[in-house]
Structures are given as C-alpha cells and as structure tokens.
C-alpha cells in the first residue's frame, strides 16, 4: 500500500483587520483542488492573520502559491501598522510534515514554492528552519532583524542578499520568509484525513473569522513569535 504524504502549510499574512480581504485570500486557498482550509485566525492588534491548510504535497504547493498571489494583491505594506515584527505582506510561509511524512518533503516544497514566488513576483525570498540554506538563517528572529522598515538597507548589503529572487526592495510587498519545520509544541494537529468542506467554508466566511487581542494568538504558531 502506498503511503499517503500529508503536509500542512501555516502562512502568516500582514492583515488582521479587514474581513473582506481575508475572505478573498481564504477563497484562493479553498479554490485549490485537494486542499483543506482548516483554520483562519485574525489578530487585529498584531494586524496579522494565520491560515492553516493541508493536503498532499503538490496540492499544498498549489494552495500556497494561490494564497501568496491573493495576499500580495490585497496587502500594501506601506499602510501596515501592527505590534508584531514583520518583513512583508506574506510574512512567513512554513511547511509542516504531518504523520509519517518525512521532513525532506517539506524542505523540497519550501524551496520549490519559494523559487516560484521569486520568479513570478520578483520577490526577495529567505529560507529558514529546516529549509535554511545558511546556518545563520535558521531562526526567524535573525531574518526579521530590522523588520520591514529596515529591509531596503538590508537588501543593499551582501549579508542581506536573499536566497532566491532579486535583492530589490518592493515597498508594497516587502519580502517573504519560507521555511520547513516540525509541528509547534502544544498545537492541536488537524487530522491528515480531514476533508469536510463545511469546515473550510465556515472559517473562510468573513463574518466568522476568529480573532484575538494582543498576544491572543501568540501560541497558535511559533512562526509568529520568533
């Protein structure tokens, strides 16, 4: 019997206050065949939202690209103000292997999706976690140094050169951090066999997006806190 590989993607976008925008981003994920959108958590104080979706590797890659395109179209970093460190409209894009899926699958996905975003959108891409191409870039805190406001200067130096994409500052979109990691400690895991469309539809409804106050969602995804 062929083993089914399941990967979760937990992107964080720099929008947490406009339900209509978030619903359009969620709709892009839901429109991807084979992907289950399990959760959307919006935090207006952080001005940030965490999406959680899962499926087989190829479908999750397609969902990640679709989400990225929607988020980049919706979010303008020149207007963004929030209390959470961030570097771009699509701030972090981590891939998490579930069940018996090997980490190498998540790393391959991270590099493939990152390369697609770099080529398609001329976006600076940095790899972190297990997908890091330089040991000093494994931790998010290092890649977020200077945040969005310091990104232009960082891209101008050799140490800030992205792993993929141009070393060019896009004031509207910023840059993206793409990674591979294990499940966050204490975070409930979606069932690999989850396929109820009603669950995805409910969390994509702009009237029902869950939100938390300052720090209210900090435990949801460790990519937010580091």
Calculate the dihedral angle through the C-alpha atoms of 191, 192, 195, 200, rounding to the nearest 10 degrees. Answer: 60
Mean of per-residue pLDDT scores for the chain: 85
Question: What pTM, to 2 d.p., does this model score?
Answer: 0.85
**What b/e sequence results for 131-156 when a residue is b if at least 16 CB atoms lie within 10 Å of its CB, and e otherwise?**
bbeeeebbebeebbeeebeebeebbe
Q: Which of 84, 111, 121, 203 is catalytic?
A: 84
Reduced to 3 states (helix: H, G, I; strand: E, B; else coil), residue 83 is coil
Residue 191 CA to residue 22 CA, distance in Å, equals 24
Residue 126 CA to residue 146 CA, distance in Å, equals 14
pLDDT digits (tens, 9 = 90+) for 36-75: 999 999 999 889 999 999 999 999 999 999 999 999 999 9
pLDDT digits (tens, 9 = 90+) for 131-146: 999 999 999 888 988 8
Backbone angles phi and psi of 195, in degrees to 5:
-150, 25
pLDDT digits (tens, 9 = 90+) for 98-124: 989 999 999 999 999 999 999 999 999
Instruction: Report the pLDDT value the prediction gives residue 120, as an integer from 0 to 100.
Output: 97
- Whether domain 6-184+197-225 has CATH 3.30.990.10: yes
Beta bridge partners of 210: 41
Specify the higher pLDDT residue, 214 or 190: 190
Which of 14, 62, 15, 11 lies closest to 35, judged by CA? 62
Active site residue 84: yes
Reduced to 3 states (helix: H, G, I; strand: E, B; else coil), residue 91 is strand
């Amino acid at each position: 019997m062929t083993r089914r590989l399941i990967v979760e993607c937990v992107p964080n976008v720099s929008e947490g206050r406009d339900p209509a925008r978030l619903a359009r981003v969620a709709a892009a994920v839901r429109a991807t065949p084979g992907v289950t959108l399990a959760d959307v958590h919006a935090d207006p104080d952080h001005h940030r939202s965490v999406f959680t979706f899962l499926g087989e590797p190829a479908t999750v890659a397609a969902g990640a690209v679709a989400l990225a395109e929607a988020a980049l179209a919706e979010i303008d970093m020149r207007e963004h103000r929030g209390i959470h460190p961030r570097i771009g409209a699509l701030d972090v894009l981590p891939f998490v292997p579930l069940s018996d899926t090997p980490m190498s699958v998540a790393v391959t996905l991270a590099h493939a999706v990152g390369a697609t975003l770099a080529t398609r959108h001329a976006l600076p891409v940095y790899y972190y976690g297990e997908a890091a191409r330089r040991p000093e870039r494994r931790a998010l805190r290092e890649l977020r140094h200077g945040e969005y406001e310091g990104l232009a200067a960082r891209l101008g130096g050799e140490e800030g050169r992205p792993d993929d994409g141009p070393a060019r500052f896009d004031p509207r979109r910023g840059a993206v951090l793409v990674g591979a990691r294990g499940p966050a400690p204490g975070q409930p895991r979606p069932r690999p066999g989850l396929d109820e469309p009603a669950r995805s539809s409910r969390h994509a409804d702009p009237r029902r997006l869950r939100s938390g106050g300052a720090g209210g969602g900090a435990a949801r995804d460790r990519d937010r806190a580091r």
